């Protein structure tokens, strides 16, 4: 711990964010580069930690250090804190390492007392003085007392103000004159005395102590905790406190205040962008009581100030080399900068600014690449609600599939398929309690999907992201009644046919329609991702099962398919009955007949994808899910059979089917007869698939194209499983090559998705041409978490910080990651240069991508819409790795 | 590969089992210690491997090597193979490294041809000569031709013999005279010519070549393959072939043959034990055509021969230092030893022999301990079918719970509980298609359990072994119809109330009752296990949930409880409704009321067990299974609700319950809301359990006893889970200690049963006082095998040798074991001396115990009936480890 607890602004700099907080470090930095910052000092974050460590006591000696620093400020301004003749007023603000806008407390006008107010009234506008005083009483009481006493929050003081305005017969604050505000101050003070039993402090140093403590306490108020959780900001870093001389934008018409960005935060355009108000305080701009003016207007109204402000913006950008978000105040014609920080921006703006700044020579390409949060690229790819649209959200769920969609609510998949894409062409939003593979048809026909249950990795969410369907999942604020064809929410009911909209990017459900715009693919976007490609060493593939998705992914930059799931093809319309016939076949002849039918379908599937790939490689996973997934559910059959029997009309065929489904029922299907186990017990299916893949490839090759099939055997835990399946399929493959008479450059490899597969990767590598990490299943088995059932405990786990985050979103590097590292090391020891990738959902998540880069995978594979994100994340990982492996800053 | 393919008996010795097979090595050894072994030679196992490697061709030069060896034999005996004037006859026998009795082929009397038979008849009894010839024709044809031709097996020749006897009007073989047998030989030869199109070979060397090839081929006949699979003998080691001069026990009344053990194989008594017949061949003794005589009778009949034989037995035991199984022949008053091998024996015999031999100074205690297969101790512990009882098995299943039981067949658990133990006290066998936790009551009331489905680790099997209930599981040869209260088997139907018996040790189902005897606990048993205890370093604990089981386990030598499953206590009679009330509680008050009731039960449970333990430690696992396991099944509720609705009498309460159960339903409950996840989401249950454990301990301590509770938190995958639960339970524990006012030496630890728990054992060790490996779940998750569903693929996996064995029976040392090693190393790095045990089913399995010893666990824990087995297995592991880690020989 540093000994110095209190830092004057001129003593600090921008590198001291850990100690001084973001705001304090920036105030120091701005002070030192000569910007007009009101003087002040910062109490370090370490004091906050000490405050909590010692049971909420300010450390001994702190007040003395503050007094010393204060003397410096006083000397600088020629004013004195608590001196009625020439009083210095102060602001007290929080400032953590990471920005937490509005979450913690602020106190302004500190240093006003009855005596000083009286004195000031003689030299200043009394209305301004009493207005400042009443704000101080309200703010300090709110932050310093409301956690001990009831009825002393801002809200209570506003009640008193409202009563007074009523009494005076006026509506607006500004209509209350100095006399009125004086009376209000008396009422405020009386209220404080009544509630707390003590007078409002008349010693400015007591005010200061109470304000500092209140700011420290606000580090742990509810909204700050919630915000930190959401933004993954550690709880233990604490906040600094900034104490600064007040400047006033509300002392007359030559005063004003405003907020501005050095460039347009929405489009990225290189012009100052913001709002201001003359004769006003900062909160007036934010509160919307008066309509603020565009910053451009200042140029006409006050060219000199504008010029000074514009120069300051340029100076700040040149200094920080990033777009800045600035708060400023004009006091009697003099400009003060109160705060600056890196400005939040949309995805398109982020990219344009980064590209422009490189072109302007402000930053390097590496800096540009590191500056853009990969997740922001989502904004550039998906249909969005037209910027600026005002809309009311009726419920919020999980942002499961980004993008916006508008359509009529439909509650069953059949109906959605009839009405939607591929049917009557209406815009449909499919609303379900939860979705199952049965809903695929309806989902594909819908513009968007809304489910009441299921998490970010639920079926609905996986399909949504895979197919780019805007989706809000796990929306527990609605209650779906499929029977009645309606859902209810807090404020009402939506029935079939009602128009609703979804903002899948934010998880919002909207009543009625909103204007939706197509994604932007500007020139800067291409340039920027081009830079990313030249930096990254990881390959980027996509998870795709159709020619359409494949084409889209290639447009987005995919270099091949890392995961083509063959079973999705089995669910589609006319195939499902054939698949069921295959499963229910009573003899080999029946089964073969069904498989022969499926072969025709699958061969065409693969041919189409190979054509779309134009010679890029495709990893095809052989059938993985348990066969009972293709049959009707056990529960529905039990019910149907029971009802038929009870009604005196027993249904023998249904009973037979029930018997079969019961026989196939599994208690834990995730760990049952699936993956390569299926291939071993029912080899005919994968023999058919192998044939279909290679015949599809052969057709493309014969037509003059190229095709690179990589056949992937899933769920291997023991080398013998792979050897057994591979030997049989190699035989089929050789036969097809012979029949077709063309060379097909096929390979056989395996998924590493069972812990034992990772642990024995050396044995397995001897039989595999490539590995692909299936981190979804690997995470399930390493933790013993069923993804389908984990909602009930994963949410509380993350909320209570038992886990740092959802391991299905970002790879658990300590546990699952260790297995991956073991597999990489053991695999390459036996087969140097073994090709390795990842095809779980994690393949599109930036921190997981950085991890894959670190452990030396060859590529990541993700859904088409995440391909650009992965390209950027991979570039960032490569740049940071070359710098010694630091993490991207928040 | 050794260059020497053919070894004369005098060239080999007992250490060459790999090369010469067990029989060949022993013949060599016996020859060299001067026993009267007919001379001969052995073709090595390597030749068998070469035979298969070269597509079933005898290697070039082999016949020449055999001829050279044969010359030595000829010289020794003064006879010549194929010489009509003084012919040498040979036997050709298989002999693999591990004994496979009767599985492979044998040919006797090799070297007889028409010409030699004619010549021999002039100097020997013609009946004997033709009898020998007809046997040769039959045996050689059977082994050499029957895989290429139909109707040339032993069976076909026996038909011809039967026809002849009918024609001659006689019944017994011995009634057919020389003339008849001569005719039979002609018929046999004609049959060979007819079927194969070739004459029976008249060249003795052709006979020899065909016989040798046939023996090699018999290595891969069906029954040999099945036997190897069962006995876990590798397929690739091949068999040797032993060619030996014939001696005849059927050349007259001064000839004979017999089989004997050097000690009693059933009781272990130190007297020669066996049977013989004069004027007979070996197969006559085995076939049971004539009743053999006790070996003791030989002493009276022929004291000189008996003395020589008894001396030979003593010489053999002194040489091999183990009880031997001997085949002998007397030819014209001269004794020959044809074979000796370590004799198979029952568990009680094995122990008595081992202890006696130590007392006789023949072997050391270590040798005695290594010699007894731990699994044999099962015979010493369980009720058995009275030895010598003849019974007919109507079906065979898996030997899921050892021991024998007799009772009436009952097809539902309620009825079994009414009639059986704790009810009317009848002897009941519970017969179910499969069992679920609902059946526990019925199982506990039954003498034995029979299920149609489920494997060695099914619910029924686990409960059976845990509670020592003789059980046959997975008996697919029966078909249970619970509705009709009957089961059918190949030969008939058993209805409710019919008497049946089970031999759980062998998996046999018997129609009617058999006499059942209590287990034997002789003095030698105690002595032997005492030796084991002084050798072993592993502690032995038991898995027990009741005072009765605890007492039993302590009697068997347990040093504490390694796993007390608290949820078993929740299933019992009057508790189940309280548990359901606790789960279905709609508010905290209702839940607390139910928990308060359960507290009373659980406190008594633990008090009783602590009393039984008399101060030995008890590891108690907090509640582990998902709560829905305590509620009615979803399927049954769906059916009931549907039926009620369809019948026009909807049942609102049932519908409500269905809704709740649906809400709790999990797709993969194994990886759902269970273990410590439950403790985190519903902390009240484990707080109650902690209180119950410590109050139970306090009661015992206050009464002057001792109690050492070790509270175990299950399913931990992340250190924070353990920290979270532990902190809360430590608070409860401190409170109880304070309330009770006595010191309770409690500890908190965790199970390592999730792969991530093992991978991050260093982090977890910081929070745990002990680790207990839950290898059942660890195996499930490491392989991704649901134990409940694995039957469908594990059986084919083992059959097709994809896995070397069922990993739920013996620890998979490569995968699961690697995780355990990682956990041990990481855990002890952070907390040296960390106490570690294993409480999965593997804790009672000898190979797994050896592995636990190797990786340095402190103890193993197993069901009471496996405690003695574990004591011996642990001793063997310690002895072998001190010798450098060799495995016990088969």
Q: What is the pLDDT of residues A663-698, one digit of tens each?
A: 899 999 999 999 999 999 999 999 999 999 999 999
Residue A667 has its nearest CB partner, among B718, B783, B786, at B786
The predicted structure's pLDDT at residue B456: 59
The structure tokens listed for A121 are 């009234």
Q: What is the strand order of the sheet A471-473 is part of?
A: A393-396, A508-511, A499-503, A404-410, A428-432, A448-451, A471-473, A398-401
Q: What angle do CA A662, A665, A671 make, to 5 degrees?
A: 170
Q: Per the structure block, which two tokens stand in for B694?
A: 């410590």
Q: What pLDDT sits at residue A467?
A: 67
Per-residue pLDDT for B425 more than 90? no
User: Which run of H or of E encompasses B256?
Assistant: strand B256-261
pLDDT at position B224 is: 84
Return all residues near A730 (Cβ < 8 A) that are at least 6 apart: A748
Confidence of residue A398 (pLDDT cuts 50, 70, 90): confident
In the structure, what pLDDT confidence band is assigned to residue A1 with cuts at 50, 70 and 90?
very low
pLDDT digits (tens, 9 = 90+) for A354-371: 999 999 999 999 999 999
pLDDT digits (tens, 9 = 90+) for A141-174: 999 998 889 889 888 999 999 999 999 999 888 7
Sign of the Cα torsion B618, B624, B630, B633 reads: negative
DSSP string, A292-311: PEEHHHHHHH-HHHHHHHHH
The C-alpha torsion from B193 through B197 and B203 to B205, rounded to 10°, is: -120
**Residue pair A548/A468 in contact by the 8 Å Cβ criterion:** no
The candidate with the shortest Cα–Cα distance to A524, out of A780, A268, A309, is: A268
Long-range own/partner contacts, residues A160-169 (CB < 8 A, 24 or more apart): A160/A184, A160/A187, A160/A188, A160/A191, A161/A134
Contact A395, A489 (CB under 8 A): yes
User: Quick check: B889 pLDDT over 60?
Assistant: no
Q: How many CB pairs under 8 A join A and B?
A: 202
What is the number of residues in chain A? Answer: 890
DSSP state for residue B80 in the 8-state scheme: B
Cβ distance of A642 and B638 shorter than 8 Å: yes
Inform me whether the C-beta atom of residue B2 falls under 8 Å from chain A C-beta atoms.
no
B454 pLDDT more than 80: no
Eight-state DSSP code of residue B87: B
In the structure, what pLDDT confidence band is assigned to residue A519 with cuts at 50, 70 and 90?
Answer: low
Q: Pick B695 or A440 by higher pLDDT.
A: B695
Q: What residues are paired with B492 via a beta bridge?
A: B489
What pLDDT, on the 0 to 100 scale, is given for residue A449? Answer: 93
Specify whether the CB–CB gap between B412 and B383 falls below 8 A. no
ipTM confidence score: 0.78
Q: Taking each helix axis from N to C terminus, what angle separates B683-702 and B719-740, rounded to the nearest 10 degrees?
A: 40
- CA distances B594 to A173, B328, B398, B586, B591, Å, are 59, 74, 41, 12, 5
Q: What are phi and psi of A68, to 5 degrees?
A: -60, -45
- Which DSSP letter does residue A865 get? G
Q: Which of A672, A681, A718 sits opposite B796 (nearest CB)?
A: A681
Of residues A168, A208, A203, A199, the one with CA closest to residue A184:
A168
pLDDT digits (tens, 9 = 90+) for B648-680: 899 999 999 999 999 899 999 999 999 999 999
Helix (H, G, I), strand (E, B) or coil at B770: strand
Task: Give dist(CA B301, CA B797) in Å, integer.
Answer: 56
Helix, strand, or coil here: B295?
helix
Q: What integer best gives the mean pLDDT of chain A?
A: 90
Q: CA–CA separation, A357 vs A214, rounded Å?
A: 41
**How far lies B465's CA from each of A649, B233, B838, in Å?**
45, 26, 17
Local confidence band at B376 (pLDDT 50, 70, 90 cut-offs): confident
- For tokens 């398919």, what's the residue? A561
Integer Cα distance of B184 and B98 in angstroms: 37
Residue with tokens 């098995």: B393
Q: What are phi and psi of B464, to 5 degrees?
A: -55, -50
**Chain A residues touching B819 at Cβ < 8 A:** 755, 759
Q: Does B718 touch chain A (CB under 8 A)?
A: yes
* Mean of pLDDT over chain B: 90
Interface of A with B in 746-765 (CB under 8 A): 753-756, 759-760, 763
Q: Which residues pair with A409 in a beta bridge?
A: A429
Distance from the B369 Cα atom to the nearest Cα atom in chain A, whole angstroms: 35
Percent share of chain A, pLDDT over 90: 69
The percent of chain A in helix, strand and coil, each rounded to the nearest 5, is 50, 15, 35
pLDDT band at A518 (very low <50, low <70, confident <90, very high): low
Q: Give mean pLDDT, residues B773-793.
A: 94
Q: CA A434 to CA A453: how far, in whole Å?
A: 5
B64-113 per-position pLDDT tens digit:
999 999 999 999 999 999 998 889 999 999 999 988 877 788 899 999 99
User: What is the phi-psi region of residue B777: left when phi exceeds 0, alpha when psi lies from -120 to 50, beta otherwise?
Assistant: alpha
pLDDT of residue B522: 58
Q: Is pLDDT of A538 > 60?
A: yes
The whole-number pLDDT of residue B504 equals: 85
- Return the DSSP state at B624: -
Does A790 contact B at CB distance below 8 Å? yes
The nearest alpha carbon in chain A to B646 belongs to A643
Query: With 50 as the cut, is the pLDDT of residue B16 above it?
Result: yes
Asked if residue A119 has pLDDT above 70, the reply is yes
To 10 degrees, the CA torsion angle through A272, A276, A281, A287? -100
**Strand ranges inside B560-650, DSSP E:** 561-565, 617-621
Determine the Cα–Cα distance for residues A24 and A41; give it in Å rounded to an integer: 8
Using the Cβ of B483 and the Cβ atoms of chain A, whether some distance falls under 8 Å is answered with: no
| Residues written for chain B | 890
B635 touches chain A (CB under 8 A): yes
Query: Any idea what the Cα angle at residue B62 is, between residues B57 and B64, rounded to 5°?
Result: 135
For residues B431 and B517, is the Cβ–Cβ distance under 8 A? no
Rounded to the nearest angstrom, the minimum Cα separation between B458 and chain A is: 13
- How far apart CA A280 and CA A286 sit, in angstroms, is 11
Confidence of residue A522 (pLDDT cuts 50, 70, 90): low
Q: Span A95-117, mean pLDDT?
A: 89
Residue B745 Cα distances to A753, B566, B694, angstroms:
43, 20, 10
pLDDT at B462: 64
Per-residue pLDDT for B890 more than 50?
no
Contact A30, A313 (CB under 8 A): no
pLDDT at B457: 54
Q: Are B93 and B244 in contact (CB under 8 A)?
A: yes
Q: Per-residue confidence at B458, pLDDT binned at 50, 70, 90?
A: low
The pLDDT of residue B143 is above 70: yes
With CB atoms and an 8 Å threshold, state whether A755 touches B784: yes
**What is residue B38's predicted lDDT score, i.e. its pLDDT?**
96
Task: Output the DSSP codes for B169-189.
Answer: T--SGGGS-HHHHHHHHHHHH
More confident residue, B735 or A476: B735
**Minimal Cβ distance to A792: which of B673, B760, B801:** B673
List C-alpha distances in Å: A291 to A250, B5, B415: 16, 105, 83
Answer whether residue B764 shows pLDDT above 90. Answer: yes
What confidence tier does A381 reach under pLDDT thresholds 50, 70, 90?
A: confident
Query: For residue A515, is pLDDT > 80?
Result: yes
Which residue of A671, A750, A821 is the best one to mutate when testing the B interface, meaning the one whose CB has the most B CBs within 10 A?
A671
Up-side HSE of residue B704: CA atoms within 13 Å toward CB? 0
pLDDT at B570 over 90: no
A441-487 pLDDT per residue, tens:
888 899 999 999 876 556 677 677 656 688 898 898 999 998 899 99
Tell me which residues of B are annotated as active site: 459, 839
Quick: pLDDT tens for A188-218. 999 999 999 999 999 999 999 999 999 999 9
In this predicted model, which residue has the larger pLDDT, B252 or B397? B397
* Catalytic site residue from A839, A842, A852, A862: A839
The candidate with the shortest Cα–Cα distance to A380, out of A263, A522, A507, A265, is A522
Q: What is the pLDDT of residue B345?
A: 80
Instruction: Report helix angle B126-145 to B178-196, nearest 10.
Output: 20
Name the phi and psi angles at A46, rounded to 5. -65, -30
Q: Would you place residue B887 in the very low, low, confident or very high pLDDT band (cuts 50, 70, 90)?
A: low
Other Cβ atoms within 10 Å of A296 Cβ, number = 12
Instruction: Convert the pLDDT of each residue in A709-741 to its tens digit.
Output: 999 999 999 999 999 999 999 999 999 999 999
If you average pLDDT over residues A316-345, what whole number do you get?
A: 90
**CA–CA separation, B188 and B159 (whole Å):** 11
**Does residue A885 carry a pLDDT above 60?**
no
pTM score: 0.79
């Amino acid at each position: 711990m540093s000994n110095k607890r209190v830092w004057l602004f001129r003593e600090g700099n921008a590198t001291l964010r850990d100690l001084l907080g973001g705001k304090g470090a920036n105030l120091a930095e701005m002070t030192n580069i000569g910007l007009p910052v009101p003087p002040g000092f910062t109490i370090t974050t370490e004091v906050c930690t000490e405050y909590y460590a010692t049971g909420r006591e300010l450390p001994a000696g702190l007040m003395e250090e503050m007094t010393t620093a204060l003397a410096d400020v006083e000397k600088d301004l020629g004013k004195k804190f608590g001196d009625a003749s020439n009083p210095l007023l102060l602001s007290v603000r929080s400032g953590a390492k990471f920005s937490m806008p509005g979450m913690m407390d602020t106190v302004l006008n500190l240093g006003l007392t009855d005596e000083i107010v009286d004195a000031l009234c003689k030299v200043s506008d009394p209305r301004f003085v009493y207005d400042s005083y009443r704000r101080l009483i309200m703010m300090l009481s709110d932050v310093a007392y409301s956690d001990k006493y009831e009825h002393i929050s801002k809200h209570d003081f506003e009640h008193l103000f409202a009563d007074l305005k009523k009494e005076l017969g006026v509506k607006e604050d500004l209509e209350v004159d100095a006399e009125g505000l004086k009376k209000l101050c008396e009422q405020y003070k009386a209220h404080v005395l009544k509630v707390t039993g003590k007078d409002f402090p008349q010693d400015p140093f007591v005010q200061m102590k109470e304000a500092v403590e209140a700011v420290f306490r606000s580090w742990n108020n509810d909204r700050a905790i919630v915000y930190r959780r959401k933004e993954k900001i550690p709880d233990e870093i604490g906040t600094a406190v900034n104490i600064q001389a007040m400047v006033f934008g509300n002392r007359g018409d030559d005063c004003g205040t405003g907020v501005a960005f050095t460039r347009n935060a929405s489009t990225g355009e290189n012009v100052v962008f913001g709002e201001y108000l003359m004769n006003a305080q900062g909160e007036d701009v934010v509160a919307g009581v008066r309509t603020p003016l565009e910053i451009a207007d200042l140029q006409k109204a006050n060219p000199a100030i504008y010029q000074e402000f514009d120069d300051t913006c340029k100076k700040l950008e040149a200094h920080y080399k990033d777009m800045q978000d600035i708060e400023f105040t004009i006091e009697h014609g003099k400009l003060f900068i109160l705060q600056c920080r890196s400005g939040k921006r949309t995805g398109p703006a982020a990219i344009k600014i980064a590209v422009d700044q490189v072109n302007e020579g402000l930053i390097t390409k590496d800096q540009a690449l590191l500056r853009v949060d990969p997740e922001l690229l989502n904004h550039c790819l998906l249909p969005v609600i037209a910027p600026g649209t005002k809309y009311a959200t009726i419920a919020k769920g999980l942002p499961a599939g980004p993008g916006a969609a508008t359509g009529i609510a439909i509650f069953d998949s059949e109906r959605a398929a009839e009405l939607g894409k591929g049917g009557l062409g209406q815009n449909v939003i499919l609303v379900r309690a939860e979705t199952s593979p049965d809903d695929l048809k309806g989902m594909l026909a819908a513009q968007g999907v809304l489910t009441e249950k299921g998490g970010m990795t639920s079926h609905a969410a996986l399909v949504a992201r895979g197919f780019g369907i805007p989706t809000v999942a796990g929306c527990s604020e609605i209650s779906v009644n499929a029977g009645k064809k309606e859902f209810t929410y807090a404020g009402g009911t939506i029935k079939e046919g009602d128009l609703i909209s979804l903002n899948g990017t934010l998880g919002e459900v909207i009543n009625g329609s909103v204007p939706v715009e197509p994604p932007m693919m500007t020139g800067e976007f291409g340039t920027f991702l081009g830079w990313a490609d030249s930096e990254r060493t990881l390959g980027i593939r996509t998870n795709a099962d159709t020619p359409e998705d494949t084409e889209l992914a290639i447009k987005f930059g995919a270099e091949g398919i890392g995961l083509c799931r063959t079973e999705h093809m089995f669910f589609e319309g006319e195939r499902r009955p054939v698949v069921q016939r295959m499963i229910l076949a009573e003899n080999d002849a029946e089964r073969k007949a069904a498989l022969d039918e499926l072969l025709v379908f699958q061969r065409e599937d693969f041919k189409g994808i190979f054509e779309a790939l134009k010679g890029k490689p495709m990893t095809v996973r052989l059938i993985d899910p348990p066969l009972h997934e293709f049959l009707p559910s056990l529960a529905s059959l039990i019910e149907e059979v029971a009802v038929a029997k009870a009604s005196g009309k027993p249904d023998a065929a249904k009973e037979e089917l029930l018997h079969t489904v019961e026989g196939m029922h599994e208690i834990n299907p995730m760990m049952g007869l699936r993956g390569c186990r299926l291939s071993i017990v029912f080899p005919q299916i994968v023999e058919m698939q192998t044939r279909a893949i290679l015949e599809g490839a052969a057709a493309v090759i014969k037509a003059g194209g190229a095709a690179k099939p990589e056949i992937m055997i899933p769920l291997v835990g023991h080398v013998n499983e792979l050897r057994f399946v591979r030997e049989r399929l190699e035989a089929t493959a050789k036969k097809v090559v012979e029949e077709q008479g063309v060379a097909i450059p096929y390979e056989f490899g395996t998924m590493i998705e069972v812990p034992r597969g990772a642990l024995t990767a050396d044995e397995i590598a001897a039989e595999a041409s490539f590995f692909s990490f299936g981190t979804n299943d690997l995470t399930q088995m390493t933790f013993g978490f069923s993804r389908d059932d984990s909602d009930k405990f994963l949410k509380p786990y993350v909320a209570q910080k038992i886990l740092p985050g959802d391991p299905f979103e970002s790879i658990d590097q300590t546990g699952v990651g260790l297995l991956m590292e073991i597999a990489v090391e053991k695999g390459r020891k036996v087969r140097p240069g073994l090709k390795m990738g990842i095809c779980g959902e994690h393949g599109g998540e930036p921190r997981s991508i950085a991890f894959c880069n670190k452990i030396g995978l060859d590529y990541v594979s993700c859904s088409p819409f995440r391909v650009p994100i992965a390209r950027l994340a991979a570039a960032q990982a490569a740049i940071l790795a070359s710098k010694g492996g630091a993490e991207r800053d928040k």
